């Protein structure tokens, strides 16, 4: 597997993006009908674009996606649905297609009416700028940003077991309001591939990749109304089926994008990875990891370089996972050093211990890993997150002003 610079502009796809202050618009287009799978937020309040995209995706085919930033088009009633449909109509008319051929997504402030004149102008301009070069993908990634500080894009090439080379690319956005629970952050992700994926397998491919990436990312514990992930496959690579090497590459692209989201979280200064090992069940491992990564007390302690491991233990206790406190092992690591704070229930990091002093130095890094061995089974889980800072509060206290 090797990295490329094409982003979502894999063979068979074009993209474009326009950014005007807080308002952006991106267009992703497939040169021919592509198979697709869509996953949306499990929040009971679903933004209008998600409702429309779910309808249009039922046939399992699409010709592209139109995405707006600056306005979430959420909690906007019937008019919001009409506006989301209108975005699909505008995009399709520019490219000589049908409204149902397009999916739609939006991100931004909830409860505001869409400026459809602005949207129409931006769609017309984006359609003119569609490009199969890396610049098309880069501009699309920039256009969907809100409080993000940098565009998120990853693409790789790999060979299937039969020797056919395929490419997978993706862009994503999201810096706050991220604790996705996508089924069948604001997090938006668009994945493309030139591989052929059988209709019976494409949804499972996306679900698998999302579960170990975006569903394993916690920024602030708030689940957006607009979370959405899309996988589109043009089939131009010429393969007749996919294998584990495809899934591995798709998982990798999604995971790298998820890590970028965590690193670029609103106000974040540190990237956190929580690994839970040897849990009784996969569910227990995920519950434990999510509780630790999502704990405001843990996140605050890491921001302040405070090795208060008791907060981690407390989070494990309320996580809902089946744990035995008397046999837990807890390690703290950065890219260079590691220290064991608790060894199978025996505390090593007491006050004034060298372990506690070592932990404080480890926390001074900008990438922190918390490893927890529950010693109750064989199941593992990873969750990505970040610290909690005063800057996060400032950004979100001024979001609509």
pLDDT digits (tens, 9 = 90+) for 179-226: 444 443 358 999 999 999 999 999 999 999 998 888 888 865 556 788
Alpha carbon distance 67, 312 (integer Å):
39
CA dihedral for 286, 287, 289, 291, sign (positive or negative): positive
CATH superfamily of 271-397: ArgJ beta chain, C-terminal domain (3.10.20.340)
Q: What is the pLDDT of residues 100-142, one digit of tens each?
A: 999 999 999 999 999 999 999 999 999 999 999 999 999 999 9
Q: What is the pLDDT of residues 166-179, one digit of tens each?
A: 999 999 997 544 44
Write out 22-41 in H/E/C secondary structure.
CEEEEEEEEEEEEEEEEEEE
Average pLDDT, the chain: 93
| 80 phi, psi to nearest 5 deg | -65, -40
According to DSSP, the residues that pair with 170 across neighbouring strands are: 154, 191
User: Nearest-5° angle of CA 220, CA 221, CA 226?
Assistant: 95
- The CATH class of 2-263 is alpha beta
pLDDT, mean of residues 236-247: 97
The predicted structure's pLDDT at residue 178:
41
The predicted structure's pLDDT at residue 44:
84
| Residue 399 pLDDT greater than 80, yes or no | no
Q: What is the pLDDT of residues 286-333, one digit of tens each?
A: 999 999 999 999 999 999 999 999 999 999 999 999 999 999 999 999
Q: How far is CA 394 from CA 71, 233, 266, 270, 390, in A?
A: 20, 40, 9, 17, 6
- Tell me which residues are annotated as active site: 186
The predicted structure's pLDDT at residue 244:
97
Which residue intervals of the chain bear CATH 3.10.20.340? 271-397
> What is the value of pTM for the model shown?
0.89
Which residue intervals of the chain bear CATH 3.60.70.12? 2-263
The predicted structure's pLDDT at residue 179:
44
């Amino acid at each position: 597997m090797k990295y490329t610079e094409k982003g979502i502009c894999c063979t068979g796809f074009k993209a474009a993006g326009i950014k005007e202050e807080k308002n952006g618009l991106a267009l992703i287009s497939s040169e021919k009908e592509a198979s697709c799978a869509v996953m949306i937020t499990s929040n009971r309040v679903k933004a209008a674009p998600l409702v429309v995209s779910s309808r249009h995706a039922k046939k399992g085919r699409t010709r592209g996606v139109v995405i707006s930033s600056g306005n979430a088009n959420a909690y906007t009633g019937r008019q919001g649905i009409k506006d989301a449909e209108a975005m699909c109509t505008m995009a399709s008319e520019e490219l000589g297609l049908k409204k149902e051929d397009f999916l739609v997504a939006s991100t931004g402030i909830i409860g505001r009416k869409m400026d459809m004149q602005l949207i129409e102008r931006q769609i017309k301009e984006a359609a003119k700028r569609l490009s199969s070069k890396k610049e098309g993908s880069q501009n699309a990634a920039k256009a969907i940003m809100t409080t993000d500080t940098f565009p998120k894009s990853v693409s790789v090439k790999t060979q299937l077991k039969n020797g056919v080379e395929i490419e997978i690319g993706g862009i994503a956005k999201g810096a706050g309001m991220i604790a996705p629970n996508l089924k069948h952050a604001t997090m938006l992700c668009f994945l493309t591939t030139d591989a052929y994926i059988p209709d019976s397998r494409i949804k499972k491919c996306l679900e698998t990749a999302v579960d170990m990436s975006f569903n394993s990312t916690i920024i602030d514990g708030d689940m957006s109304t607009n979370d959405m992930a899309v996988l589109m496959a043009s089939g131009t690579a010429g393969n007749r089926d996919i294998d584990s090497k495809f899934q591995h590459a798709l998982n990798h692209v999604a995971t790298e994008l998820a890590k970028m989201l965590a690193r670029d979280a609103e106000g974040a200064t540190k990237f956190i990875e929580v690994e839970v090992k040897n849990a009784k069940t996969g569910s227990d491992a995920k519950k434990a990891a999510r509780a630790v990564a999502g704990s405001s007390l843990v996140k605050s302690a890491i921001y302040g370089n405070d090795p208060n491991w008791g907060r981690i233990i407390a989070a494990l206790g309320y996580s809902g996972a089946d744990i035995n406190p008397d046999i837990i092992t807890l390690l703290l690591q950065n890219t260079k050093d590691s220290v064991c704070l608790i060894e199978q229930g025996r505390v090593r990091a007491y006050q004034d211990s060298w372990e506690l002093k070592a932990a404080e130095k480890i926390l001074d890094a900008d990438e922190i890993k918390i490893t927890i061995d529950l010693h109750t089974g064989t199941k593992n889980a990873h969750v990505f997150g970040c610290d909690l800072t005063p800057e996060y509060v400032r950004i979100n206290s001024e979001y609509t002003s």
